[in-house]
Chain A
Amino acid sequence: MLLKPPETEAVPDCCRGGLYSCLLPFGLFGLLCLAWPRVAGGAVFTAQWAWVPSLDLNLAFRLDGLSLLFGLIITMTGFFVTIYASSYMAGHPHNGRFFVFLHAFMTAMLGIVFADNLLLMFICWEATTVLSFLLIGFDHEKAEARENARQALLVTGAGGLFLLMGILLVKSAGFPMTLSLLGDSRDLIQTHALYPAVFICFLVGAMTKSGQVPFHFWLPNAMSAPTPISAFLHAATMVKAGIYLLMRLHPVLGGTTLWMSTLVLVGGTTALWGAVQALGPCDLKRILAYTTLMALGVLTLFLGGRTVMSLTAATTFLMVHALYKAALFLAVGSIDHQTGTRDLNLLGGLMTRMPLTTLAVAGATLSMAGFPLFFGFIGKEIMYAGALAEEIWPLFATGITLSANALMTAVAAIILITPFFGPLPAHLKHTWETPWTMRIGPAFMGLLGIVFGIMPEWVSKHLIQPAVFAFHPDREEIRLFLFHGINLPLLLSVVTLTSGAVIYWQKTRLRRGIGAATEKLWVTTPGLYQSGLTRFLGTAAAVTRILQNGSLSIYLSVIVLTLVLLTGSVWLPHAADIVTVPAVTGPYIAVGLFVFVLGAAAVVVTARHRLAAIGGLGGVGGGVALIFLVFGAPDIALTQLLVETLTLIFVSLILLRLPPMEPIINPGTPSRMRTLRNAILSAGAGLVVFTLISGVVGHPLDRGQTTFFETHSYLSAHGRNIVNVILVDFRSLDTLGEICVIVLAAWAGVHLIRRPFGQKRAP
């Protein structure tokens, strides 16, 4: 692509369908704008439809200041990303799917922020997880993209399960699922025994989605998504879902010491880690991903506070970040699209080739670095104010913010200066500016950074104040100014810019140092994830080898062992009373028959040759038939004898065609051990069965059903042979099933016999 002049470009300039689909986010943005004035004035729109009322899940939506702010960000970014993607994705074979997923994702995201029902929010939350999986893996032919998509899915999916558990814990404790009602139960929830569990569950859910350390690693890896996706999902919207959740839950779960300390700690760590890591990579998108981590960490840090100031800081910075980050991602995507690389070492001097992109990046980076007159400056001022106002560890918070901001300034400088200034490398000679569709987004958002920076009062009145009021009870007026006067935050800003410059100057040395330090870390979560995955697969394979080892006799042994252990353990302790066997009464011939049957069975068990075994089987069958006869059951005696005869005929017919039996005890110890094991197992099972049936016959039998059959056999069913009447009349359904079995056996058996074997089917 690099060598091709623009006029012979084969790929279309822009995907029309995709471009027109930008009307969807635009329309939604317009609708939100219509409601904006009233929401800014404090109005709250709600709508509710029943969905699953039995689970307290309704399609309840709520538009207040907070969801308005998020909604505006989502739809606006969505609008520009769609326009941008219509060119970026042009010519891609699956761009239809791309735009469908993109808009589905946007809808789900809007669902999260507008849902007024925890379960509904969760459903949208999971939808974003799935759709982001599809979008991160969009370039699915690259192994890296697939792997990263799975990583993101597993990490955020696991977080989703925590969130679900949290929600269900809240529900099982009897609290409502409606978010706006949940705030009323604040005190009850915070004193509930399950509060820590609930808090942890929600927190982990938010942390995974918002890339907080130690679940952060999926986010930089998710950069294998197409750049519009990174801009939309991993800068402006999805990763903010966790932040949104924390904001929404702030009035419910927030404000406790647990909440404050955990959030400040987690957020601080993430911010610092992200900022430090951002200096490392040479891939522009990866740098941006780490700065996103930093931003998310800072946001979490500020949500740990409970003063209006720190929450205002969070909300303001959220906006600042959404604007500059989306713009930067899109611009980086443009560079990538036009030059084919995002590597800092290969880029330079693009200012002359891509002037408008340069301007947009300049606007965004200056905002990011927090230069005065840019919106980022306002954000930074309020951040320092907020950090100083934290109730828990304000100095820690301030320190973190300061160092993170300083690093950000340096990173902003890297992003602006390296690719755009300096000499133009030879291989970039044929680079040209992007089509308008790819310029409008970064340019507009960069411009907005300046506009907001000049008129912060309007922004604070119409966007930030309504948003903060939506999740904070205090109605303290929030006002942002271009210049707050000479105060501590301003001083800190100056320190930030200076140290940022120092860091930029020393960037090579720092980068080396950070790289070395990171390598020295003996445990990292990406490492844990990888080794966990490997170990999991290893365990899985080992478990499979042990459990499904293919040996029928082991399978059977396990089954018998289970039977003996389960049944025996509960029953044998009670079985003592049947040891006192009552005296034997009745025909002694029966005793003789028992002995005969057992003897014949012993022949079968110990037989070394088939013939002996068959003879023994015949003996057992005949003996059993005689037992039936002796105890008044001529019908079964007859049937048993006949079945036995037929079985013997078939056994002989078939066994004649089989090899001789193998000896039951092979020489060699393992097999001897096995035989012993089998003997013990089968003796145990026999003991269980013997004791059970002895126990059963120790009680009198309720002969009610038999009496009924005796009474009605002739009178109602016209038969004198009660057994036969039961078979063909009283319980004829059994018999019907039984002849089904035998007919099926015949069908299957005949087919098995007839089918030619050993040869492959003819083609």
Chain B
Amino acid sequence: MKTPRGKLLKKVFSARTLRGLSSIVLFVVLWQLVVYLKVPYLQNLPYPEDVASHGLAAAVSTGYWIDWGLSLSRIFIGFIAAQLLGIPLGLAIGISRVFRGFTFPVFEILRPIPPIAWIPLAILFWPTRELSIYFLVFIGAFFIIVINVIQGVSNISVNLKWAAFSLGAKPNDIFWRILLPGSLPSIITGMTVGMGVTWNVLIAAEMIAAQGGLGRTTWEAYTNHNIPYIVVGMVSIGIAGYLCSTLLRWLGEKAMPWKRKF
């Protein structure tokens, strides 16, 4: 019989992990080499160690973490507003055919417009820059969540609804105990997808119109020609985005214990 520790060691030193690690090392070495050999176009890249030292310097400065805070708070406010409005709207469109008939076409006209194209109107309309950024983040997540909720509601098997009716459930029970939990998986999917788009929109909005925030500092690094810091900014944005999606995944697992696998 194998001990759990033996299993763990086996997993850590498996061929797959080793390959993964070696590929990352290879990537860094290649990056170094490309800059060192002055490969055309790529010669302007900073050395990995430059990026690392800039990153370290940033990590101990308060300004960097204030940017994190600003970006994250913008994401959360816009994102949560989108969920608060989008989920009820999606449920309403999904449940009522009549309501769907009235609202869905308008929704479908506005949906294909790329969220970033809203930037000028947002700046124009909202009294402060901060508000217009919240609005853009909201737009980025809103359409996706609504579409996903609609799909979630319509994907619930009619048998489940019938079964509930047969067992004596009233419309109230059907909504809270069948429709809502039944569309939860789609809601979570919509949130995860929306989160990706939202970060994209936020970065663009910050670059164009904001004060502070990870996107803005990256842009300022560009105007100052501080190339290593641009990369630091990109990596930070990547990490922030990744953390947000992980948080959502974790929330999803908590909210849907029935989906957990053994």
Partners in one complex: no
Residues on B lying within 8 angstroms of A by beta carbon are: none
Residues on A lying within 8 angstroms of B by beta carbon are: none
